[in-house]
Amino acid sequence: MSLARKLNIEDHQKTDREKLNARLELLKSQGVADARIAHDPKVKQMKAKIRKGRLQLERLAALKKQNAENAEATAKRRAEAKAAVPAPKKEKSVQEPKKSKKEKKQVAE
């Protein structure tokens, strides 16, 4: 789920709350008991949609927090890598150029 969906989820939650309030007012105006309203299938469905949206928003907040922590850790690692001084390279000792096979044979004789 992407972070761009946050606005869509909030809009859906808002409309679901409005539908729930309208349904509750309708049932109360009809004189339905509160215990009976709590068991109404449409009311349960709307409450479930609101709950689902809330959980999605919580997951998005957790993702946003995790992304910020990862970016912070990455920046820290890069800064440490820049600050670290590379190990000094070993200096090559001056060596005489290698002798060819012909020269080796002449020396051996």
Residue 24 vs residue 84, higher pLDDT: 24
- For residue 40, pLDDT over 70 is answered with yes
Place of tokens 């000094």: 88
Q: For the chain, which residues make up each domain, given as ranges?
A: 3-81
Measured over the CA atoms of residue 12, residue 15, residue 17 and residue 23, the dihedral's sign is negative
Joined tokens for residue 89:
């390279």
How would DSSP label each residue in 30-96? TT--HHHHHT-HHHHHHHHHHHHHHHHHHHHHHHHHHHHHHHHHHHHHHHHHHHSPPPPPPPPPP-P
pLDDT at 92: 67
Q: What is the pLDDT of residue 4?
A: 77
Which of the four pLDDT bands, split at 50, 70 and 90, describes residue 70?
A: very high
Tell me which residue of 57, 65, 44, 42 sits closest to 12, measured CA to CA: 57
Q: How many CB atoms lie within 10 A of CB 10?
A: 13
